[in-house]
Amino acid sequence: MNTFQWIDVRSVEEAVALLATPASHGATIAKAGGLDLLDLMKEGIIAPARIVNLQRIDALRGVQFTDTAGLRLGALTSLAEIASDATIRRNYPALGEAAAHAATPQIRNAATIGGNLLQRPRCWYFRNQLFHAAREEAGRDHPEKQRRIAGQEMRVSNEAGARRVEEREDPGRKYSVGSRADGENERDRSEVKGGNDQTRSD
């Protein structure tokens, strides 16, 4: 992870001014809960030169409801706050239930509704540093070459995962379950093979 400048701001105006001013050697990124941002930085997808911390802006917090205007959620309102708010539970039960079932209690306490709505794609390819490195290597003026090299790099990455395969028998059906050696469950793939073949293959 590269070094970066950290700035705490206390107003929306201050944050907007900083985000509109380019850093000297890289991008300026806003941070709310920071969960997705930290993942992107650890995975080498982004390397901001400046991080603007929004957590001290009280104006971006809170739940407000009126019969005429409806519901207003501050961008820094946490998922835990949304899940436990009596007004939301009464008037918007689906929203409260959705927030209550997101991730884990630790994540819900830190994650904000603004950051959750604006997080970058969860696509496995987008989250892989090799994909971005391949695009840079290909050169910005050759989009077709970018796609070809990116695909080659991803195939190498997939093969390096060293899949383990277990075969489990069940009457009339054979199951072949593959799992990555690196333990990343969200990248696991399961394949079900139908048929009456009862013979186990090793």
Q: Name the nearest CA neighbour of 78 among 51, 115, 103, 53.
A: 115
Tell me how far apart the alpha carbons of residues 149 and 27 are, in angstroms, rounded to a whole number: 26
pTM: 0.62
> pLDDT tens digit string along 175-190?
333 334 444 444 444 4
Average pLDDT over residues 191-195: 41
Which class does domain 5-53 fall in? Answer: alpha beta
Tell me how far apart the alpha carbons of residues 46 and 29 are, in angstroms, rounded to a whole number: 10
Domain positions in the chain are 5-53, 61-118, 129-159, 164-193
Pair 52, 9: CB distance under 8 Å = yes
State the helix-helix crossing angle for 129-138 and 143-159, rounded to 10 degrees.
Answer: 150
More confident residue, 158 or 37: 37
* pLDDT exceeds cutoff 60 at 143: no
Which architecture, in CATH terms, is 61-118? 2-Layer Sandwich (3.30)
Output the pLDDT for position 43.
Answer: 81
Output the pLDDT for position 167.
Answer: 39
